[in-house]
Each structure stands twice: as structure tokens, then as C-alpha cells.
Structure 1
Amino acid sequence: MTSDPWGRVDETGTVYVRTADGERVVGSWQAGSPEEALAYFKRKYDGLVVEIGLLERRVQTTDLSAKDAMTAIEHLREQVTDAHAVGDLDALGKRLDKLVSDVDARREERKAAKARATEEARGAKEALVAEAEELAQSEQWRAAGERLRALVDTWKGLPRLDRKSDDELWHRFSHARSAFSKRRKAHFAALDAQREEARQRKEKLVQEAEALSDSREWGPTAARYRELMADWKAAGRAQREHEDDLWARFRGAQDVFFQARSEVFAERDVEQRENLTRKEELVAEAEKLLPVTDLKGARSSFRSINERWEAIGHVPRDARPKIEGRMHAVERAIQEAEEAEWRRTNPEARARATGLAGQLQDAVDKLHKQIDAARASGNEAKAAKLEQELQGRQALLDQALKGLQEFGG
């Protein structure tokens, strides 16, 4: 009889395997030596070892499902239980038991990982919903719209939750997007209406500007163009396809008017500068009349100069105050000379001045006598009081006498 730690072959060629439950027959060998028989059935055992090793690696390194792993384990367990092989079959059973524990542990790990992934997905979707609901109130139409589209792509990349939770969150998410789209649509509809209103207003402004372009009423028309420009700015923007064309027409009409005005003003400037030169010559001629020594001659000469002055026309605006101021100064000097002459030759005024001077002279003479009398009687207080009154009357008398001198006497 030939034996091995895990089996034996008896005299009849029957092959046995040893297990914890005792020996059992695994086959019969009649074609060769007992050693060859044991070697053959050991190779059967080695084949089982290879298959179990492969399943262990699949469980450890692949995403083999727990169900498929348990099916494979039970299949191998049946092979080990009924194996026609010689080897440590109990050890193979223990390895299969260990593999069952590993599969159960992996099932729990996967279950926990799935639960974590679900909660993470729930948190991520709730955050997307919260952001979408906030964006639904935004008026940053382009940026918010782009962000909402990005949120949809992010949502599609997240795992689904249970149907109820996923549907509820999607409903809120979709409602936020719809609310934003509705507000944006209403905004741009109102904006289109405003731009159409602006187009109509600007069309009227353009028509008036074009009608005014050939006007030659320079001041009123320029003022009206300024008003039209203010109205243009207040009208707001029209649609893009109309705005540039309307502005080109509006600006073009103004350019026609202001170019014509510039040409006319350029000619006028030349004429006014020539007028200034002529008026400077006249004011120099007028200034030679001062000081006035011959009133009649000065008056006649100034009248002639002034007639020529009035015939010349306008000078440049910035030069007007100075040149007119010089002419007015000459005119005032002649007028003052005329007033002085009138006062000097007026008989009624001379008579009044003479009478007043006489009255004041009598009052002064009387006060002198009263002062002398008061001092003679020793009344210095009265004399002092009369002295003060005398000073006032004397001042009036001096002024009256000076006025008489203007009348030549």
C-alpha cells in the first residue's frame, strides 16, 4: 500500500483522500503504479487550488457583484465537496469560507459607499437647486443664463436618487429655470418695446433735423438743434439695426447746417474785423476832442463821427465792450461839459445862488456881533455856543460862494 499525508492507494488500486471527517474514496487506479495514481489525483487538487485563487483575485481586484461571486463560490464548494482529488480539501473549504466573508464585507462596503454617494449626490443636487432658485431672481441675464445651462450639465452628471426625492428636486430646479426664462423673456419684450418707442421718437427728431438743415436763421436754429440733441439723449437707444442709421442721418443734417453757418460766420468775421479797424480810427479821432475847450465845435465833430460810427456795423463780440466803452467815454465827457456850461449860464440858478450866499453872509455877520456882545458882558458860555453855530454857517457860506464862482462871479 502506498500512502501520502492527504491520501493513499490500497492493494486493490482504490484511491482515498483524508479529511477532518475521515477518509473517502476518490477513485481507482489500475493502469500504473500507486505513486502515479497519487500524482494524478494531486494534479486534480492543484486545479481546484488554481480556480479558487483566480476567484479570490477577481473578488479583490474587480467589480464582480456579490451575487455572481456567491454563485461562483457555491459552484467551487460543490467541486471541493465532491472532488476526486488528493490534497488538503479542508483548507480549500476554509479558503472558500474566508472568501464568503470577504464578499459579505465588500457588499457592506459597497452598500455604505453607495449610501455616501447618494447623500453626496443629494447634497450636490440640493446645492444646485438652491443656486438655481437664487439665479431665478437675477437680472444679470447673460451671466445667469449661462450659469443655469452649466448647472443643467452638472445635474446630468450626478447619480439619481430615489425616484421621489429626485423628482421633487428636479421639479424645483426646473421651476427656477422656467421662472428665470419667463422673467428674461418679459424683460427683453419690454426692452424691445422701449427701443421701438425710442426708434419712433428718434425718427421724428431726424425728420425735424433734416427739415432745419437748410435754415439760415442761425441763432434760433442752432438753439433748436441743441434742444433736439437733448431730446435725442433722453429718448434712449433704438434697436441696433436702426440706431446707427438714425444717428448718421441726424448728425448729417446738423453737419449741413453748421457747415453753412461756419462759412457765413467766417465771412462775417472778416467783415467785422474790418469794421473794428475803421471804428478804432473813428474813436481815436473822437478822443482828440478831449479835453473839451470848444464845446460847440466838439459837439458838431462828435455828431459827425458818431454818424459814421453807426454806419459801419458790427465788430467782433469780444472787442465790442472795449471799443464802445472808449466811444461812450468821449460822449460822456462832452455831456458833462454841456451840463457845466448850462449851470454856468443859467440866470435863475445864479440868482438863487446869489440870494443864498447873501442870506448866509448876513447870518455870519450877525453871529459875529452876538459873540462880541456876549464876551463884553462876560458870558463865555454863550459866546462858546455861538462860536459853534458860527462854524456851521461859515461852512455853508463857503460852499455857496464856491457855487457862485462856477457861474463866473
Structure 2
Amino acid sequence: MSGRPTVALIDTQALEYNLKSLKAKLPEGVATTAVVKANAYGHGAALVAETLQSAGCSFFGVAFAGEGAELRKGGITKPIIVFSGATPAEITTIIENNLTPVVYDIDSAQAINKQAEAAGIKQPVHIKIDSGMGRLGIQPGRIKGFFNAFSKLQNLQMEGLMSQYAEMDSEDKAFSKTQLATFKASIKEIAALGFKARYNHIANSAATVDCSESHLDMVRPGIMLYGAYPAPHFRGQIDLRPVMTLKTRIIQLKRVAPGTPVSYGRTFITDRESVIATLPVGYGDGLPRRLSSGSTAAAGKGSVLIRGRKAPIVGTICMDLMMVDVTGIEGVEQGDEAVIIGAQGAEIITAEEIAEQTGTISYEIFCNVARRVPRIAVRTTTAKTEKELI
């Protein structure tokens, strides 16, 4: 452990609870693929996958072959689907680590088949249909041509058929229903060509909760595993627990006179005698610089929790440091805990709140938490303080 006070506590009990809540929405026999790409949305892929594998997760989903290889090195034995497929340079990694690539064009299928033949294996693949996302996938009008060519690839086995919703998190489900109908029609067309998948899947977190007709054989929850919601209207539909707490500690306190500038660009100048706390966390750790104060004598949009109260961010957030105004908070001392994402006392700052303040989504807030921030496993009922863990 580095001893640095900035850490991300990962509540494995909350993670298990969220998986259980999501699985409770499913009928018997529907598999769950936990999406752990992008370092498990910033939560630490090895830690998250190990927890979910022990909790009975069926599959894992990553974006790239390298992510899958890291999970294998970490002891993950369950099937791992590589959503972005395999470039020629990644096929060896796919085969050596027993990964399952997604295929969305015949060229990549042929390249995978060639190396699978050389390795003497039957390589499972999931074939992606573009039902309306306009990203990766075979267009419905080209299904027949693809499968005519695919039928000649003797070292590939179609394990799954999949697609991706474009706006299932919207309250208006009209386009999502069109996508589901397109995908189901594609499944039927492919079956008529002589191909049947063991797993047909399109459901993300939102569809797992809000569209039971799209559960099919497998669901692929992501953001909800981590205790966040794709959109506010999902809050009443499933109970989730936040998994990440991002926190640090005050490393310096200063009492300064009115008219004192704070940080780069002097974007904040005190208009009263103030107590300014410096925290060892910045945009190099993934904190959005847009939370900085933007005008003289005006605190920024962002805040942290210190002694159970919100302390506004003042001045420009630096790469490794930031400042907050603790003037109105009694008893603040050097070494006090500062919570950036999470709860302290009766107050809470969520990733969704930070996302709204900075014009983005909670997914990005989580994913941006840098790898230099240690991820430390805790459990809700036995969680130690960060001081005890380091």
C-alpha cells in the first residue's frame, strides 16, 4: 500500500447486493453477464470480478482482449465475452486466454477461424446484429450473406447472438421496442438459415429492470452493479447500494485574509477571512476540473464532505491537489477525512450529482477515477476507516 490518503473504497457487500437485486428481476434460467470493462467502470476489474464470480455470476463482459487477459491472470475462470471483437493483433490473446469474441463482420470471423484452426480448437463467438445502434454489428439486410460465408468457417461455433440498445434508459421506449422487434426477427431469420444460438441477448442494466420481454437468454448489467442508475426514473424500480466511496484527507489548513487568491489563474479570491483546506486529489486522479470555481469570489459547482457538511471547492482544481473552503465548519483539523463520492454523516455526494454538475454521466465519473488511486475492498458491515486500511 502506498500510504497515500486518497483511496477508493469498494464495498463488496454492496456489489453482491446489487447483483442479487438485478437477478431477482429475472426468470429462472436467464444468465447474467457482469460488465466489467474499463476497469469495472473504474471500480477495479480484478476485485469486482472476483467478488461477482464468488456470488454466482455466469459470464463477464469486457471491451478488449487485454482486459479479458487481465481477468484470467487474476483467477477468473468463468466465460469472458469481448464486446469489441478482435483485431488481428488480439486474436492470439483471445485464444490463449480462452476468451469469447464478438463478431460483427466476415473478415474478422475469417481471421479468428484461421488462428482457431491452427490452434486445433473450436472457437466460440457471439455474433452482433445492428438493430439500430448504428455502431458495431451486421445490418439486418446483410444477415443472409454473412451466414452463407460463416457456414464455411469450421472452427467457429456461434454461441450467442446479441445486439445493443441505443436509448433504453429513456422513458420513451418506442425506439427500443423497434430494436427488440428487429433483433427477434433477426434471430428467426438466422434460425431459418440453420443457426441457433444458446444465448440471445440485448438487455443492458435498464432493460434488465424495465423491459422483461428483452431478457431472452442472458442480460448484461453494467452501471447498476455499481449502485448507480442509468437515469433518475429508475430509482423507484430497484433498490441499489453505492459501491464506491472516493475519499482523502486534509493535508494543510490555512487561515487567510480577505482578498487572498486561491490556485491557478486566481479564479477564486476570498471576500472574507477564510479557512482553506488543501486535499491531495486532483484531475490526475479523475476529478473533473469543471468542478472548479469559475469566477472571482464565487465557489465552484463542486463540494466535498468534511465533518458531515458540504465544503465548496474553491479555485482551480490542480492535477494532484485541490482546495475547499471550510470556514463555516466547526472543529476542522488537518488529517480530517474528506469524502468526494459517498456518504458522511447524514450527507451524501453521488456520482450522478457530480455528473449533473459537470454535464456528463455517472459512467464517465466512475471510469475516470485513475488507476493511481488504490482500490480497497471493504464490506458494509465490517468496513474499517481508511486510516486503518492504509
Does the pair score TM above 0.5?
no
Instruction: Sort the TM-score into its range (normalised by shorter chain).
Output: under 0.3
TM-score, length-scaled by structure 2 = 0.19
As a proportion of its length, which structure holds more strand?
2
Whose radius of gyration is greater, 1 or 2?
1
- The structure in which a higher percent of residues are helix is 1
TM-score w.r.t. structure 1 length? Answer: 0.18
